[in-house]
Amino acid sequence: MPDVIVVHFDELALKQGRRPYYERNLVYAVQTAMRDLGPVQINAVHGRFVVAPGRSNIPVDVLVERLSRIFGVHHLLVGVEVATETLLIVNAAVALALRAKSSHSISTFRVRVRGNDRRVHRTRSLEVEVGSVIAVATGWAVDLDAPDYTLIIELAAGRAFVLSQRIEGPGGLPYGTSGFGVALLSGGIDSPVAAWMMMSRGMRVGVVHFHARPYTTEEALTKVYRLAHGLTRWQPTILGLMVPLADSVHRVLVEHGSAPLRTILTRRFMMRIACALGAPHKAQALITGDALAQVSSQTVTNLAATDGASALPILRPLVGMGKAEIIRRARQIGTLAISEEEGDDCCSLLAPRNPTAAATLAEIAACESALPVAEMTQQAVESSIPFRVRFEDPSPTKPPK
């Protein structure tokens, strides 16, 4: 009896018209997530995928762990595939139930049959038949509402899957179905969560980090590089750019003496530079980890002033979230521990003692009219360093060269 994992999709079923498109992207996402493992079998079978180790001999646990991080996956069911004869289904079901009994304390169970092959087996009678044999073999009682153990039989396209272990997927939409966005990745807790949230909606994400070398440390760059690597658990390859601001932007702003506005002016340069860097990759949006009123630069007025410098829409998926909720999510996706490592921030370096919480557009315009905005942006773009991280690479210990 070959081991199989049956993968059920999220939301995709709702997008009837575009279903083949979403399915293609999900197949690609599954293949990409498995690319370093070997020839894993992936088949589409009537609205679900069936994944099997095939000749690769990869343990099912490893496949399950990978599949549970693919956006678009609603849940996984693990079990075996058998021919559609009732006797074989009953035997497989009893074997799975006994295996569960040996490792878990279970006293109630139910059997569910689903699928579109009702011609072969009548759902209800198969449930009763399998259920009665399991009851005898295990001594468990039937509980249809809240059982300790559920056995699922899926019948599809002339195949039978006997499944017992259910693992939740992350949901969302598959990689590549919502265009490309550039996430502004600081070394903080928030921005990796923001990037993850847009990935979960099917957006392919690239990252940009601004630093103030030599006034900030090499460790801070390494940390951001490690954060990008942490995100490859969710998007297996990530392209990024490290952008030095010390000469191109910070020095000029300090010379112009616009102290209270410096944070917002720097933010506006970040947006211009990120748009310029994203243009060759056809970026459709910027992504930031702003949360409303979390710090003084995140008032509605300042967020709007930042928007004004961006040629692309700025997506702020955390805007309505509280810090505790963001931290919980960061822990869940695996970036919190990296964000909590040591590392200075390019913006705190030049932050004025009294940053303005309500920059007026007129004040900003007056300051910027005295600055060579296009040249500053261009200089930052030209001095940026590209990098690429992949899931299968070791976590970086040095910044990209």
Name the site residues for ligand ATP (rule: CB under 6 A): 184-186, 188-191, 209-210, 288-290, 294-295, 297-298, 346-347
Residue 25 or 186 having the CB closest to Mg ion = 186
Phi/psi zone of residue 11: left (φ > 0), alpha (ψ -120 to 50 degrees), beta? left
* Structure-token match 């976590």, residue found: 395
Under a CB-based contact definition with an 8 Å cutoff, are residues 315 and 191 in contact?
A: no
- Least Å from the CB of residue 209 to ligand ATP: 5
Residue 72 or 396 having the CB closest to ligand ATP = 396
- Least Å from the CB of residue 10 to ligand ATP: 27
- Least Å from the CB of residue 163 to ligand ATP: 40
Q: Please give the Cα distance from 175 to 234 (Å, whole number).
A: 9
Question: End-to-end CA distance of the chain, in Å?
Answer: 50
Using CB under 5 A, which residues numbered 305 to 324 contact Mg ion?
none
- Structure-block tokens of residue 366: 């007056």
- Least Å from the CB of residue 1 to ligand ATP: 48
Residue 170 or 355 having the CB closest to ligand ATP = 355
- Please identify the residue of the shown chain whose CB is closest to the bound ligand ATP: 188
Helices assigned H by DSSP within 59-189: 60-67, 86-103, 123-138
- Least Å from the CB of residue 277 to Mg ion: 19
Residue 81 or 290 having the CB closest to ligand ATP = 290
Partner in contact with 127, chosen from Mg ion, ligand ATP, none, beta carbon below 5 to 8 Å by kind: none
Under a CB-based contact definition with an 8 Å cutoff, are residues 190 and 196 in contact?
A: no
- Least Å from the CB of residue 264 to Mg ion: 15
Using CB under 5 A, which residues numbered 183 to 222 contact Mg ion?
186, 188
Residue 45 or 381 having the CB closest to ligand ATP = 381
Under a CB-based contact definition with an 8 Å cutoff, are residues 185 and 224 in contact?
A: yes
Residue 147 or 230 having the CB closest to ligand ATP = 230
Helices assigned H by DSSP within 201-261: 218-231, 251-255
Burial class (CB in 10 A: 0-12, 13-18, 19+), 397: exposed
Residues in touch with Mg ion (CB under 5 A): 186, 188
